[in-house]
Chain A
C-alpha cells in the first residue's frame, strides 16, 4: 500500500505532468521527515484495516452528531445573479467527513509556519486598530481608501470607538496552501469569527480513538493548550476592574453553518452558548436574561457575523443580535471578540499591501507570503487581471458579493459579465494566482491516493502577541486534480483531515503556560445558563418530544400486534380499526386511518415521514433540533443514542416492501433508544432548572398522551371480544399490562383500567403520577412562588383526579360512556392550560422586536 503511494505520489500524472509537492513522498520517493512513525504503524495494516478505520471514523462522527450546514448563499458565485436571501430554505445539516489518515508536519517546518501565522496575527491586529482608530494608513495611502470604504465589513458605527483597545483581533485563522516549490502561502485570512477550532479538536478525538496505535506512537503536540490559552485570553479581555468576568459564546443558533463547532468550542471552554435573544441591554450593560433575574455579561466570544449583532446600529431587523450591544462596547462595559468590524481584514485587497505594512507597522519582513494578488482598484493590477484572467482566481473583496471563480472555468458569457462587473467597480475585485497546492495521502476505497490539500491554522491572543494552535484543520479535495475546485473557492468544501505536528522527541509538556488564576474555576454560585428562557424552552420540548415519540411508537407496536392477532381484520367496529384510528387521533396525523390510509404504508409513515406533523419521525427531528439548541447542556451520550435511532429508521426506510418485521424491529430499536435517552437524562444530567423543566415536559406530555388515548378508545362499549383486545392494547401501549394482570387477575375491565392509568398515584404511567411529578419539578425551580399560575392549575388538576370515581365514570348509556368522555375532555383541557402556563411562567421570550424609524417623507420646498 505504502510502497505504491511513495512510488507514484509527487511524480506527476496525465492530468498534472509537472511533479508536484507531496506531503508524504519526497522527490526521491522516500518518506519525508515526520511521517516515519505513522508509516511504521500503517505498514502493519492488513487488507481491510484502512476501510475499517474509515468506517469507524464515520460512525464516531455520526455518534457525536458532528455536522456542517452548507450555507445556501455559498453556492452563488460572483458571476451569478444574486439570489434573494429570504427565498432560500434552511439547508439540512451534512455529516462532517474526516479522513482517518492525518496530515503530518514535522516540527522544524512547523516552527517557521507558526512564526508566520503569529506574525500575521500581530500585523492584522495593528491594521485593524488603525482602520477603526486614527486611519493613518488610509491618510498616508499605505492602504487605498477605496479598498476599505466600499467593503461590506467596514462598519462605520464602530469607527473611533476608544474602548476597542482590549478586544481587537482576538483570534484569527489563516488558510494556507503550498506553491510549486513547497513553500506555504496564505490563501485567505479568517478574521470575522473564525470557525474550525472545534472541528479540529473533534477530528483529533476521533482519529485518536480509531487509530490509537498510530496516535500514541507519534510524538504529537496536543491541541488542548490552545483552548486553555483561549480561555485565559477571554478572561483577560474583560473590561478593566471586572474581577471575575462572565464570558458567553454568542451563536446564531442551531441552524448556522458551524453550529457544531460553536457548541463544541463553548463546551471545551466551559462557557455558556447563548443566542442574541438571550441577551438584553440595560443601564448601558449587557445582561444574560435569566429566570427572574439578569446576570451581567462581561465578555462575548462572537460567532455571529458583526453586522447581525445589533439591530439598532448595524443591520436593522436582525434577529441574531441584541439592540444596544454596540453602545455597550462604546461605553466600555462589555468586550466583544473578535471586535465588531474585524471582518474587514478578510478583504483580499489588503494582501498586496501586507509586505509593506509589515515593515511599516512591525518593522519586520513579512514571514508568510500571501498568494500573489492583484487588486483591480489600481490600474496596473486591473490590466494584469484582464490580461491573465485564464490563469487567475477572481475574488470579490467582500464575501457577500459571492464566491470567487476560476477564470479558466468561465464560459464566454460569464467571462463577459465578469469583466463588465470588474470595469463597473474595479476596486471590488482582486485576481489571485492559482496555487499548485501539495498532495497528501488520503483514504479512497481502501487505498491511499494523493489529494490536494489546504491547511487552516489558528492563533489566539496571548498578552501582546498570539498563541498558535499546534495543529489545525486540513481539507483535501474529493477528486483527483481538483485543486481548482471547491477546495479553494468554497470555504468549507472537501474532506477534513486531522493535522499532526510531530516532534522527533517525545513531547514533554504543554508549551503554553496558563496563569493559574486565569484558568481557575468558574465562580461559585454562578447561575447556570440552564436558566435562559430559550434554553429552558428547548429542554422542556426535549422532554415533550421524547415522550411523544415514545408513546406513539408503543401505540404503533401495540396496534401491529393486534393486526397480527386478528389476521388484519379491519372490519368496522373491530379492535384493529379502533386502534388504528387511535393512532391517527392521538398523533393528530389526520386523515390517516380515519381516511383511506392503507395499513403498512401508513404505519411506516408514522415512523419515517419527517414532513408530517405528529409522526414519530417528526417528533424525533424536533427533539434533535431542540437538543442542538442546548448542545452545551447535554451529555454527549445523547448524540450517540440519537445516531443509533437514526440508523434504526434508516434500516426501515431501506425496506420499502416490508410487511411488518422490519417495522417492529425498527420500532423496538427506536424505543430502546428513547429509553436510553431517558436513562442519560436521569443519570447524567445535573438537577438544575433546565432538568426540572425537561422532566416537567416529559410528565406533562405523558399525561396528555394517556388522556388522549383513553378518550378515543374507551369512549364507547363494543363487543366484549373487541373491548378485551382494545383494552389490552391500551394497557400495552401504556406499559401497564403487567401491573394490570398482576393486580386484577382477569377481573377488571374499563373501571380497573381507568383506575390504573388515571388515578393510581403509584403507577409511573398514570396521570396522577405525572401531576405529582410535575408539581415536584416546578416547586424545585427557584422562581416558583406558591401562588404561581402553574401551581394553581396543578392544584385544580390534582383535585379533579383525586376526586374522580372510576366506577361512576365508566357507566355506559346506550353504549357510550359520556361521563368518562366529559371527564377526559376536561382533563385534557386542563393539562393543555397547564402546559401553556408553564411556558408563560418559565420560558417567556421578550415581546417581538420592531424597527422604529423616522419614516416621514420630509418637506423642504419653498
Chain B
C-alpha cells in the first residue's frame, strides 16, 4: 500500500471577460478494492455560484459548477489523499481463452451485460479497418486472455512512439495507426479499439501515475501529469488494467480517478463559457507526492 498527496490544478486564462462559465469535472479518485480516497478537496476560483456532485452511471464522482462572476482566469484545483494497493483478476480467470471473454457469449456472468457497454466504438474510439488485423497478431485462436492482452499492450508500446504534441485530443484511431506516435490517451484509445474490434470489453481509465525521479535527482514538484490506461473485462474476475504507455500492468503507482468508454466520458475538466474572448490558454499542473506513512493520514 502506497500513499500519495495529489494536487491537480487546471488554469484557464482568457483575453476578455468571461461572463458565465459552466463546468464539469471528474477529479475525485475512486474508492476501489485496492484503492481508497482518504480525503478530497476542490477549489474553484472565482468561487462558483453552484457546485453539485453526483455519481455518474459508471460510479465516478462527477461535479457541476457555475461561475457567475465575470472573470479572466479560472482555476480548478483538486487536492486528494489516496492509498493505492494492488488488485486485479487471478491467474485462473486470466487463463480463459480470449474468445470466451466476450460479454456477448457469457450471459451467465452477472456483470456481462454491463460490460457490453464497453464493446462498441465510442466517440473517441472508432474501430477502423485494419485494427482487427493488428490485434489478431496478439489474439491468436484459443490464446489465454491475460497473455494475449498483455502481448497487445507490449506491441502497442513498442510500435508506437511516445511523442508529446504529435497528436491532439481529436486524433482518430485510424490516424494514429498511420502516425504511430502519440501520448497516453492515444496509446489507450488504440488498445481499446483493438479489444473492441474482437468483441471484447475495453474501458478507458483516467488517473495519475507517480513518477520516480532519475537516480540521484530530487523529485520535481508539478512535473507530473494526468495519465490514462486501459481495462479489459475478464469473465468472473473483474477487469485487467494495463498501461500501454509504460508497458506494464498497473501497480501501486497508478491512482484511478474515473472509468469511461473513452477520454470524452471522463474529461478532468470541461465546460461552456460565455465570452467575446477570442483566445484562451490552458495550463495544467499535477503533483503526485508519495507520503511516507499511510496510517498517519487523517481520514476525511
B residues 47-65 with Cβ under 8 Å of A?
49-50, 52, 54-57, 64
In the complex, residue of chain A having the shortest beta-carbon distance to the beta carbon of B19: A847
Contact with B along A153-194 (1 / 0, CB 8 A): 000110110000000000000000000000000000000000
Q: Assess the A146–B104 pair: CB atoms within 8 A.
A: yes
A-side contacts of B284, CB under 8 Å: 854, 856
CA of A754 to CA of B274, assembled, Å: 47
Interface on chain A toward B: helix, strand, loop, or mixed SS?
loop
B residues 80-115 with Cβ under 8 Å of A?
103-104, 107, 110, 113-114
Q: Assess the A857–B183 pair: CB atoms within 8 A.
A: yes
Q: How far is the CB of B168 from chain A (nearest CB, A)?
A: 7
A residues 185-229 with Cβ under 8 Å of B?
none
In the complex, residue of chain B having the shortest beta-carbon distance to the beta carbon of A861: B162
Q: Assess the A156–B265 pair: CB atoms within 8 A.
A: yes
User: What would 8 A/B residue contacts be, using CB atoms closer than 8 Å?
Assistant: A138-B113, A146-B119, A149-B120, A281-B22, A324-B64, A846-B19, A847-B275, A859-B183
Q: Which interface residue of A138, A848, A861 has the most chain B CB atoms within 10 A? A: A861
Q: A852 on the interface (CB 8 Å rule)?
A: yes
**Contact A860 to B226, CB < 8 A, known contacts A150-B120, A312-B22:** yes
A-side contacts of B21, CB under 8 Å: 852
What 8 A-B pairs are tightest by C-beta distance, nearest first? Answer: A859-B225, A860-B227, A860-B184, A852-B271, A145-B116, A159-B57, A323-B272, A323-B22
B-side contacts of A141, CB under 8 Å: 107, 113
Q: B24 on the interface (CB 8 Å rule)?
A: yes
Which residue of A149, A280, A848 is within 8 Å of B275 (Cβ)?
A848
Size class of A's contact patch? 35 or more
Contact with A along B205-216 (1 / 0, CB 8 A): 000010110000
Which residue of A160, A856, A860 is within 8 Å of B56 (Cβ)?
A160
A-side contacts of B137, CB under 8 Å: none
In the complex, residue of chain A having the shortest beta-carbon distance to the beta carbon of B283: A856
**Contact A145 to B272, CB < 8 A, known contacts A284-B50, A859-B227:** no
- How many contacts A-B (CB < 8 Å)? 155
Q: Assess the A312–B272 pair: CB atoms within 8 A.
A: yes
**A→B interface (CB under 8 Å):** 135, 138-139, 141, 145-146, 149-150, 156-157, 159-160, 280-284, 311-313, 316, 323-324, 327, 330-331, 425, 846-862
Q: How far is the CB of A778 from chain B (nearest CB, A)?
A: 25
In the complex, residue of chain A having the shortest beta-carbon distance to the beta carbon of B185: A858
B-side contacts of A311, CB under 8 Å: 272
What is the size, in residues, of chain B's interface with A at 8 Å between Cβ atoms? 63
B-side contacts of A282, CB under 8 Å: 49, 66, 68
Q: Assess the B225–A324 pair: CB atoms within 8 A.
A: no
Q: B268 on the interface (CB 8 Å rule)?
A: yes
Q: B140 on the interface (CB 8 Å rule)?
A: no
A-side contacts of B103, CB under 8 Å: 145
Q: B117 on the interface (CB 8 Å rule)?
A: yes
B-side contacts of A284, CB under 8 Å: 50, 52, 66
CA of A859 to CA of B210, assembled, Å: 12
Which residue of A145, A312, A848 is within 8 Å of B24 (Cβ)?
A312
Q: Assess the A847–B50 pair: CB atoms within 8 A.
A: no
A-side contacts of B44, CB under 8 Å: none
Q: How far is the CB of B97 from chain A (nearest CB, A)?
A: 20
Q: Assess the A856–B282 pair: CB atoms within 8 A.
A: yes
In the complex, residue of chain B having the shortest beta-carbon distance to the beta carbon of A326: B64
B-side contacts of A849, CB under 8 Å: 272-274
B-side contacts of A847, CB under 8 Å: 19, 274-276
CA of A494 to CA of B213, assembled, Å: 71
Q: B269 on the interface (CB 8 Å rule)?
A: yes
Which residue of A135, A157, A858 is within 8 Å of B184 (Cβ)?
A858
In the complex, residue of chain A having the shortest beta-carbon distance to the beta carbon of B59: A160
A-side contacts of B211, CB under 8 Å: 862
Q: Assess the A313–B224 pair: CB atoms within 8 A.
A: no
